[in-house]
A and B are shown apart, each in its own frame.
Chain A
């Protein structure tokens, strides 16, 4: 079974631009979450999608948005990029069992550098 796939792996953008990152979950997984990892703030939850609905969002400005498609693939978008948005963005998917006691499967991440 293929793992969680994130594209692109590396990205360099200029301040003020916008960026879209993509995540394909493991086949059959319907829950997709996004996390931002920076040296200063560590790993922080961005949002979770399940069956095309955003179920929760972390404490990030409205410049950060996401969506999920009917095939469970997800995208996140960051508009008006700032230098502080430089980070490793990680996507995770979860098996379709009910309940919270399941592990998350992470992709390799997209390394975004804003210059």
Chain B
């Protein structure tokens, strides 16, 4: 079942602009992760934020996590055409096994 819900479902921006995607989830988590997928290919891991962290940076990516609101956001700064892809948040809530629960994704289009 889907736990995360991304918002917006689709986003179109100009190259150089910032892109913000939001994710909400329902249960308590160990961590929340963001993945990128290009045109139905495999998922590429972007960043993992633990439940006791509030913000994390990686290059042009900034992720925030608000466990009280059960929400996270992914900010991509100074976007490039190569950032065009679908972005998924995934939560990990398990104790004995590793199971990711994905949201429906945000389709980002960066126009050159």
A64 at the interface (CB under 8 A from B): no
B11 at the interface (CB under 8 A from A): no
A75 at the interface (CB under 8 A from B): no
Chain A nearest CB, measured from B39 CB (Å): 11
How would you classify the secondary structure of chain A's contact residues: helix, strand, loop or mixed?
strand
Whether B43 and A100, one on each chain, are in contact in the complex, defined by CB atoms closer than 8 angstroms, is: no
Beta-carbon nearest neighbor of B40 in chain A? A88
Whether A90 and B43, one on each chain, are in contact in the complex, defined by CB atoms closer than 8 angstroms, is: yes
* Interface residue tally on A, bucketed by range: 20 to 34
Tell which of A56, A88, A102 touches B96, judged by Cβ atoms closer than 8 Å: A56
Tell which of B45, B50, B95, B99 touches A58, judged by Cβ atoms closer than 8 Å: B99
Per-residue B-contact encoding for A63-98, CB less than 8 Å = 1, 0 else: 000000000000000000000000010101010000
With known contacts A104-B98, A104-B100, A42–B105 Cβ distance under 8 A:
yes
With known contacts A33-B98, A42-B105, A100–B42 Cβ distance under 8 A:
no
Tell which of B1, B42, B50 touches A107, judged by Cβ atoms closer than 8 Å: B42
Per-residue A-contact encoding for B70-103, CB less than 8 Å = 1, 0 else: 0000000000000000001010101111111111
Whether A109 and B42, one on each chain, are in contact in the complex, defined by CB atoms closer than 8 angstroms, is: yes
Chain B nearest CB, measured from A57 CB (Å): 9
With known contacts A55-B97, A56-B99, A103–B45 Cβ distance under 8 A:
yes
Whether A55 and B41, one on each chain, are in contact in the complex, defined by CB atoms closer than 8 angstroms, is: no
Whether A108 and B41, one on each chain, are in contact in the complex, defined by CB atoms closer than 8 angstroms, is: yes
Whether A48 and B99, one on each chain, are in contact in the complex, defined by CB atoms closer than 8 angstroms, is: yes
- CB proximity to B under 8 Å, residues A5-45: 31, 33, 35, 37, 41-45
Whether B99 and A106, one on each chain, are in contact in the complex, defined by CB atoms closer than 8 angstroms, is: no
Task: Point out the residues of chain A lying under 8 angstroms from B101, CB to CB.
Answer: 45
Task: List, sorted by A's number, 19 A–B pairs whose CB atoms are closer than 8 Å.
Answer: A31-B98, A37-B40, A41-B2, A42-B103, A42-B105, A44-B102, A45-B99, A50-B97, A55-B98, A56-B96, A58-B99, A100-B92, A101-B30, A101-B50, A102-B48, A103-B48, A104-B33, A108-B42, A109-B41
Q: Using CB atoms and an 8 Å cutoff, list the residues of chain B in contact with chain A.
A: 1-2, 30-31, 33, 35, 40-45, 48, 50, 88, 90, 92, 94-105
